[in-house]
Amino acid sequence: MGNVPVMIFVRGGCPFCSKLMEELQRRGCDFCALNIDNRANIDYLARLNLLVKAAPLVQTPNDFYVLHDLFLDYSPGSFNEALIDRIVQDMTCICN
């Protein structure tokens, strides 16, 4: 099936977002990161919220977004080191 890119929305300066992207790059995971501090990306995110039903967006308190239906069970308030590890594991499976 090959690599499946996953889209993530990040906020500049968020240490969790930075760590997650470093881990994904280190593991060779295919992803696209969009900075939500950019107005165009915020508008794009709003359109995705309206258009994408099969893969809802998940938001954490740190304004980190993941676009993939496998991340539905990530509850707000649980964004920490353990969640980073879990996201990376899941994305590694998705990407490989």
Concatenated DSSP letters of 18-52: HHHHHHHHHTT--EEEEETTSHHHHHHHHHHHHH-
In the predicted model, what is the mean pLDDT of residues 4-12?
A: 69
pLDDT at 7 over 60: yes
CA distance 57 to 72: 8
Domain boundaries of the chain, sorted by first residue: 6-95
The percentage of the chain sitting over the pLDDT mark of 90, rounded to a whole number, equals: 0
Distances (CA, A) of 25 to 59, 76, 77: 21, 24, 25
Q: Which two tokens stand for residue 30?
A: 């295919």
Tell if the pTM clears 0.85, that is, is over it: no
Helix (H, G, I), strand (E, B) or coil at 17: helix
Q: For the domain with range 6-95, which CATH number is right: 3.30.460, 3.40.50, 3.40.30, 1.10.10?
A: 3.40.30
